[in-house]
Structure 1
C-alpha cells in the first residue's frame, strides 16, 4: 500500500508569499501601522494568519486589543484581489501531484492558510479533485510547528503517521511533520537547506522528485 502524501501549500504548490505579504501590509497600513518584509517573515512564515497577526499586534500595539479575526478576514479579501491576477504555481507542482495520484498515492493538503485561500490555489492548479483530505487554519487549534495539523491530515486520509510522507518548505512545517512522526521532504523555495536540515530529504525544486524517490523514502 503506497504511503499518503501530505502537501504544504504556500511555497510548495504555489509561489504566493509575496502576495500574502502585500495583503498583510495593506491591512495594517490601513490601521496606521507599517510592516517590513523582515517583520512579515518573522511573524508569518510557516504560521497561520491568526498566530501571525496575534503576535504582530502583541509586539506593535501591546496596549490595544485588536480584532484579530476581523483583520484576518480583511487580509484574506486583500489576498483574493491580488491573487486574481498574480498567483503563480511552483514549478512542477501540478505535475507531481498528478503523477502521484496516477500511481495510487492518497493525497492530502495541510496548510496554515484559510480555506478560501486554499480553494483558490487548488482551482488555479486544477488539482482540487485529487486531494482526498484538506486541512486549513480553521480546522486546528494550534498551527505548525505543532503536530496537530499533520496528525489531522493523516486522520482524514485514514492513515497512521508512519504511513505518511510530508512535503514542506519551512522549518516550522518540517518540525510539525517530524513531531507527528512522519517522514518529511523539504524544498528550498523559501528557506535554505541549512534551515531545513531536520527533513529526511532536501531538494531545490519539486521537479527533482519522482514517484520512485518517494516510494524509497516511505519504504
Structure 2
C-alpha cells in the first residue's frame, strides 16, 4: 500500500544548503568577525531547527538573542534565493501521486516564512495537502512528532507512507515515526544517511530504486 508521501523541504524539494551556509557565513562575519566552515555547518547545523542552531552557535546568549539572529539569518536566506529549482524528478513524482490519489505533505524544520517563500518560488504552493512547520509544534525534528503529525494530517498510517529526507535530524524523525524513508544525498554522504536509518539513498526523484519501491507497493507495471 502507498497512500502518503511526506517530504522534507530544504535539501529535499530543492537544494538549498549552499544558500543557508552562505547566509550564515555572511552574518557571522559581519556581526562577529567569525569564520564559519562548510564542515561545521554540515556537522552541527544542516537539518536542525533554528533553536538548536542558535544554541550551538551562541550557547552563552539569551533566547531573545537567538530568536533575533535566527530571523536575520532567514531574511538573508530569502534575499539570496529569489530563484530555486525543484529537485530533478520531483514534478514527475508529484504528478504521479496526484494521478494515483496519493496524498502529499511537507514536514520541515524551516520557519513558516521560509516554507512559504520556497514553495512560492518553486511554483508548488498549491501542490501539498498541508505544510507542517516543526517550530509550530511542541517538538521539532529529530523528534518524530512532526512526521507523526504529518501522517495524522494525511489520514495515513506509517506502513502505507514513504518519507524523503536529506539530513540526519530529519531521517531520525521520519524513521522514528516508523516511515520507510529515502535519503537524498544532497547534504550528507550516502553512508551517513544509511547509518541514520535511510531505507535507500537516492540522488534525486528519478532514481530507479525509488520507482521500483513505488511500483512494488502499488503493484503497478
TM range (shorter): 0.7 to 0.9
Gaps of at least 5 residues in structure 2 are none
Equivalent of 2:123 in 111, 122, 126:
126
Q: How far is the alpha carbon of 1:211 from its aligned partner?
A: 5.4
Q: Which residue of 2 aligns with 1:30?
A: 30
Q: Does 1:45 align with 2:46?
A: yes
TM-score, normalised relative to structure 1: 0.88
Residues 111-159 of structure 1 deviation map (CA, whole Å, 9 limit, x = unaligned):
1111111112211222221210111133223222210111111111122
Residues 180-191 of structure 1 correspond to what in structure 2 (within 5 A)?
Answer: 180-191=177-188
TM-score, normalised relative to structure 2: 0.87
Q: Which residue of 2 aligns with 1:103?
A: 100
Gaps of at least 5 residues in structure 1 are none
Residues 60-71 of structure 1 correspond to what in structure 2 (within 5 A)?
Answer: 62=60, 64-65=61-62, 67-71=65-69
- In structure 2, relative to structure 1, the CA distance for the partners of 1:170 and 1:208 (3 Å cut) is same
Q: Secondary structure at the match of 1:207?
A: coil
Q: Which residue of 2 aligns with 1:207?
A: 206
Contact 1:112 1:143 in 2 (8 A): yes
- In structure 2, relative to structure 1, the CA distance for the partners of 1:4 and 1:69 (3 Å cut) is same
Q: Secondary structure at the match of 1:91?
A: coil
Q: 1 CA distance for matches of 2:130 and 2:216?
A: 23
Give the total of aligned pairs. 214
User: What RMSD over aligned residues (CA atoms) do the two structures have, in Å?
Assistant: 2.1
